Amino acid sequence: MAAVILDRLIRIAIVGDNELFRSIPHSSLDRLPNLRVVAEAVNGAEAIAMVEFLHPDVVLMDISMPVLDGIEATRIISSRFPDTKIIILTMHSDQTYADTALQAGACRFLTKDCGKEKLLDAIRECSPGPLRFAGHPPH
């Protein structure tokens, strides 16, 4: 298991309409020191309200959701709350989705099958302040 070296807690929110999508990263990330999942939301509208209230450092955002999709939620959150970084975590692997998500303000774009190390790398790259996982050089 990767060790996290950090001066402060990184607060993470997970947004997706599928409970399994939310539960897997939630349980994995909560086991790492200095990473804490602070909230979950089931659609983009809930995500915006959650970010406004809790101001997480990083949001793991799915794209395909009811009410408000992840791309539009990313656009709104990125413009209203620039300190909160968004990592798109989705089943869509088409480059068009990646381009659109990054243009909307996402920090990174990953597919759900990316694996734990790629997800941790993305969190490290998108997190404010010094953050590194054992075995990875600081950025």
Q: Where are the domains of the chain?
A: 9-128
CATH, domain 9-128, list 3.40.50.880, 3.40.50.2300, 3.40.50.620, 3.40.50.920: 3.40.50.2300
81: number of Cβ within 10 Å: 17
Compute the distance between CA of residue 50 and CA of residue 53 in angstroms, rounded to an integer. 5
Overall average pLDDT of the 128-135 stretch: 52
Q: Could you give phi then psi for residue 89, rounded to 5 degrees?
A: -130, 105
Compute the distance between CA of residue 86 and CA of residue 84 in angstroms, rounded to an integer. 7
Rounded mean pLDDT of the chain?
Answer: 84
Compute the distance between CA of residue 75 and CA of residue 91 in angstroms, rounded to an integer. 19
Overall average pLDDT of the 9-20 stretch: 86
pLDDT in tens, 26-62: 566 767 778 889 999 999 999 999 999 999 999 999 9
